[in-house]
């Protein structure tokens, strides 16, 4: 691969991006431009390291990486499972820890136990479908929503939801609870399969540095 090629990173916007940049700083990779919160720039360059970073909506990160528009992506495991893109998952970054759960009011427990037909609202229709059809062998109707999923059982759109639970406070404040856990989640580093071959040395070195740093401090 040509010597001056930039390694391009797609970072999921928000908390994950901030934690990723903090972790990268610890291994000596900084991107000063990105710290300016007023900027409208979309792509940031570290000339010394020949690296470029851009922020994207979480669900778009695996897309950029699959098509090779980004060599590397940092994104939640929830998004990786939902998007099912052809990408390599290479590292668990240990932060962004939460759980994918089936949640609802206590009265929905009976429907789950008896495997009765019900409606399931979620921002993650593929994860919800896989869980109910392949793991629980329960026929349900999946309703795709884009946010504030906890509203669905409250206003009668669905009996339960499949959603992320971090602190549990959104559930508590809305009279809902975790009924079943689907899987634990955390932030992951993903790599384009062609980049993994063509830029193997740089990417392998980066993974090794990150692993070393993560083993020092598991509270990043
Ligand atoms: C996520 C998730 C839950 C909430 C869980 O929503 O969908 O609603 O966070 O966090 P908690 O257990 O700490 O309360 P997000 O804030 O991303 O917004 P959204 O509802 O628009 O998806």
Pocket residues: Cβ below 6 A from ligand 1:
123, 147-150, 163-170
Token code pair at residue 136 = 């629980």
Closest-lying ligand 1 atom to the alpha carbon of residue 149: 20
Task: Identify whether the C-beta of residue 91 lies closer than 8 Å to the C-beta of residue 189.
Answer: yes
Closest CA to 37 of 51, 23, 21: 21
C-beta separation of 66 from 191 below 8 A: no
pLDDT tens readout for residues 90-131: 999 999 999 999 999 999 999 999 999 999 999 999 999 999
CATH superfamily of 7-96+186-218: Periplasmic binding protein-like II (3.40.190.10)
Claim: this prediction has a pTM higher than 0.75: yes
Q: How far is the CA of 136 from the centre of ligand 1 (A)?
A: 24
Residue 112 to residue 136: CA distance in whole angstroms: 9
170 CA: nearest ligand 1 atom: 14
Domain boundaries, the chain: 7-96+186-218, 98-184
Tens digits of per-residue pLDDT, 165-210?
A: 999 999 999 999 999 999 999 999 999 999 999 999 999 999 999 9
Tell me which of 100, 166, 185 to substitute to probe ligand 1's pocket, judged by most ligand atoms within 8 Å of the beta carbon.
166
Check pLDDT > 70 for residue 218. no
Please state the atom number of ligand 1 nearest to the C-alpha of residue 173: 14
Question: For residue 220, what pLDDT is reported?
Answer: 47
Encoded tokens for 220: 């990043």
Highest mean pLDDT, choosing among 9-18, 22-31, 47-56, 172-181: 172-181
State the distance from the centre of ligand 1 to the C-alpha of 148, rounded, in angstroms.
7
What is the C-alpha R_g of the chain? Answer: 20
Q: Whose CA is nearest to atom 1 of ligand 1?
A: 164
Decide whether 7-96+186-218 matches 98-184 in CATH topology.
yes
For domain 98-184, give its CATH number from 3.40.50.1370, 3.40.190.10, 3.30.70.20, 1.10.10.10. Answer: 3.40.190.10
Predicted pLDDT of residue 72: 98
* Range list of β-strands (E), 65-220: 72-76, 88-92, 98-104, 119-122, 141-144, 160-165, 177-185, 187-191
Pocket test for ligand 1, best of 15, 164, 172, 184 (most atoms within 8 A of CB): 164
Is 125 within 8 Å of 59 (Cβ atoms)? no
Residue with the smallest CA separation from ligand 1 atom 21 is 147
Q: Which residues pair with residue 74 across a beta bridge?
A: 11, 189
């Amino acid at each position: 691969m040509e010597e001056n090629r930039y390694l391009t990173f797609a970072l999921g916007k928000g908390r994950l991006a901030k934690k990723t940049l903090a972790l990268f700083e610890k291994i000596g990779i900084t991107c000063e431009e990105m710290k300016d919160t007023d900027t409208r720039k979309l792509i940031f360059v570290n000339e010394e390291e020949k690296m470029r970073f851009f922020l994207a909506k979480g669900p778009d990160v695996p897309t950029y990486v699959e098509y090779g528009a980004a060599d590397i992506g940092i994104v939640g495991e929830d998004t990786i499972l939902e998007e099912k893109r052809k990408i390599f998952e290479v590292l668990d970054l240990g932060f962004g820890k939460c759980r994918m759960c089936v949640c609802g009011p206590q009265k929905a427990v009976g429907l789950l136990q008896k495997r009765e037909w019900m409606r399931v609202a979620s921002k993650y229709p593929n994860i919800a479908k896989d869980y109910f059809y392949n793991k629980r062998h329960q026929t349900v109707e999946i309703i795709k929503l884009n946010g504030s999923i906890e509203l669905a059982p409250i206003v009668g759109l669905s009996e339960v939801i499949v959603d992320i639970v971090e602190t549990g406070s959104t559930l508590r404040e809305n009279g809902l609870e975790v009924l079943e856990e689907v899987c634990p989640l955390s932030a992951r580093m993903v790599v384009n399969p062609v980049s993994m071959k063509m830029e193997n040395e740089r990417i392998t070195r980066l993974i090794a540095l990150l692993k070393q740093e993560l083993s020092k401090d598991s509270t990043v």
